[in-house]
């Protein structure tokens, strides 16, 4: 197997393993079994587009526009504060539980609002650009084939997001209890706020 492919996969996987806003949303959708395939596909495809931009040299162009980073940073912070508040409110009020009927069938909300949320969590996060476009783009230049390196990193994104989304189902029995959902929602809300504060105070 190509060293460039392995290196791209390893670095790409390590960059997306940390629990962040995007991963927390994928986990939540996976637990609720709502639009899991499309959510995972959207996340992985978005990463692949950004990785492609990085390995083809867009990273240097993005670094030439300092205003772009500022706009994404503060826009992302505002979105994360609002989204985090929603989760904290849900965790505070409680009352949610994952029943076996919900886990298997109906009650799915519309697809487009979920996709809009995950797209915002992905594309309004400046760390995504730093990791995929700038970092992966610059590291790829050190390998014989930047294209193969990028393919490896994109494969890592597809592997991670689909594993997270569908692997979350194993936790369904735990989240049959309302208290578990409260803990998850509060944890996600606090994670969103921590990331938002980190963006503001960089």
**Averaged pLDDT for residues 163-172:** 87
Identify which of 69-83, 93-107, 162-176 has the greatest average pLDDT: 162-176
Q: pLDDT at residue 63 above 70?
A: no
pLDDT tens, 181-194? 788 778 878 877 88
List Cβ neighbours of 198 (8 Å cut-off, separation of 6 or more): none
Residue 57: is its pLDDT beyond 50?
yes
Which of 34-38, 90-94, 106-110 bottoms out in mean pLDDT, i.e. has the lowest? 106-110
- Asked whether the whole model's pTM tops 0.75, one would answer no
Closest CA to 11 of 163, 142, 192, 119: 142
Is residue 44 pLDDT above 90, yes or no?
Answer: yes
H or E segment to which residue 64 belongs: none
Domain-by-domain residue ranges, the chain? Answer: 3-200
Q: What mean pLDDT is reported for the chain?
A: 79
Neighbours of 170 (CB within 10 A): 10
Q: What b/e string do you get for 87-117 counting C-beta neighbours within 10 Å, with b at 16 or more?
A: bbebbeeeebebeeebbeeeeeeeeeebeeb
Q: What is the pLDDT of residues 138-167, one digit of tens each?
A: 778 777 788 898 999 999 999 999 999 999
């Amino acid at each position: 197997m190509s060293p460039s492919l392995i290196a791209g996969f390893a670095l790409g996987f390590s960059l997306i393993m940390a629990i962040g806003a995007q991963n927390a949303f994928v986990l939540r959708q996976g637990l609720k079994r709502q639009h899991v395939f499309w959510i995972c596909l959207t996340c992985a495809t978005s990463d692949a587009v950004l990785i492609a931009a990085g390995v083809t040299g867009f990273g240097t162009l993005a670094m030439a526009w300092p205003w772009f980073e500022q706009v994404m940073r503060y826009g992302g912070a505002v979105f994360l504060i609002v989204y985090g508040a929603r989760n904290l409110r849900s965790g505070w009020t409680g009352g949610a539980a994952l029943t076996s009927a919900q886990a298997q069938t109906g009650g799915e909300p519309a697809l487009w609002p979920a996709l809009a949320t995950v797209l915002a969590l992905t594309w309004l996060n400046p760390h995504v650009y730093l990791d995929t476009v700038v970092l992966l783009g610059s590291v790829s230049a050190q390998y014989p084939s930047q294209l193969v390196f990028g393919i490896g990193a994109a494969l890592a994104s597809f592997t991670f997001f689909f594993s997270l989304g569908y692997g979350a189902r194993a936790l369904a029995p735990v989240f049959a209890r309302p208290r578990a959902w409260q803990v998850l929602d509060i944890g996600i809300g606090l994670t969103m706020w921590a990331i938002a504060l980190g963006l503001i105070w960089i």
